[in-house]
Structure 1
């Protein structure tokens, strides 16, 4: 699981850079100001959580079920949250908004919140046993 966290952290981080550049340059003329802000939010959250994936991959052994759940919540949460925002923005900009993606974004956000709660619990437990 540690390796998976590091791999997804690296992939999500690299993609955040690519998508950020793509949004800032290629999509700037196609997107409205609101769409551009939403797209940027997806990129920011993806990068923040890519870094958290890397930190958790280094810090935790992933032997406890709470650590494993935290990892899967991070991996799936980033995908559902950020990638649904990208899909909504792109489909809307091209006049064919994929409405099914709308409810997926908050589900991804909920998984990210759960991951942060589990991260905090695991970090406190880790600190108490140092």
Structure 2
């Protein structure tokens, strides 16, 4: 799972840069300041968790365990649910979107982020299921 998390982390960071540029340049004159702020919060949390995904992918080279993998999937779910719902809320007035269903989605994404960080922390207490280190190196 390390390569998919590295690839997805890179993709999420790339999209955060593109969405951030769109939000600060394209949305500024199209929606109100509160909507731009909402969009920027989505970008910020996407960026934080893109770096978290990259960290998970790198850690999986040395420390493979199920909680670390769960953390990666929870970070992805959080990006989609939390940041994605904020993006839709921010642009809803442009496209006359019905956002009533998004109210409960944003907090679920936030809970996914929190659960991902909890799994990340707990993974540091687990023994490796499989180590990618060379034989003879010390366990950490």
Task: Tell me, yes or no, whether TM beats 0.5.
Answer: yes
Partner residue of 1:53?
53
Whether the 8 Å contact between 1:91 and 1:98 is mirrored in structure 2 is yes
Matched length: 128
Whether the 8 Å contact between 1:16 and 1:46 is mirrored in structure 2 is yes
Whether the 8 Å contact between 1:16 and 1:47 is mirrored in structure 2 is yes
Partner residue of 1:109?
110
For residues 64 and 122 of structure 1, the distance between their equivalents in structure 2, rounded to whole angstroms, comes to 7
Alpha-carbon offset, residue 60 of structure 1: 2.5
Partner residue of 1:80?
81
Whether the 8 Å contact between 1:53 and 1:74 is mirrored in structure 2 is yes
Alpha-carbon offset, residue 65 of structure 1: 2.0
Partner residue of 1:91?
92
Cα RMSD between the aligned structures? 1.7
Whether the 8 Å contact between 2:65 and 2:126 is mirrored in structure 1 is no
Alpha-carbon offset, residue 11 of structure 1: 0.7
Consecutive unaligned residues of structure 2, counting only runs of 5 or more, are 128-138
For residues 73 and 92 of structure 1, the distance between their equivalents in structure 2, rounded to whole angstroms, comes to 29
- Provide, for residues 72-94 of structure 1, a one-character-per-residue CA deviation record: whole Å limited to 9, x for no partner: 10111111110111011111344
Partner residue of 1:118?
119
Which structure's residues are more often helix, by fraction? 1
Partner residue of 2:23?
23
User: Structure 1 residues 14 and 23 mapped into 2: Cα distance closer, same or farther (>3 Å)?
Assistant: same
Whether the 8 Å contact between 1:81 and 1:107 is mirrored in structure 2 is yes
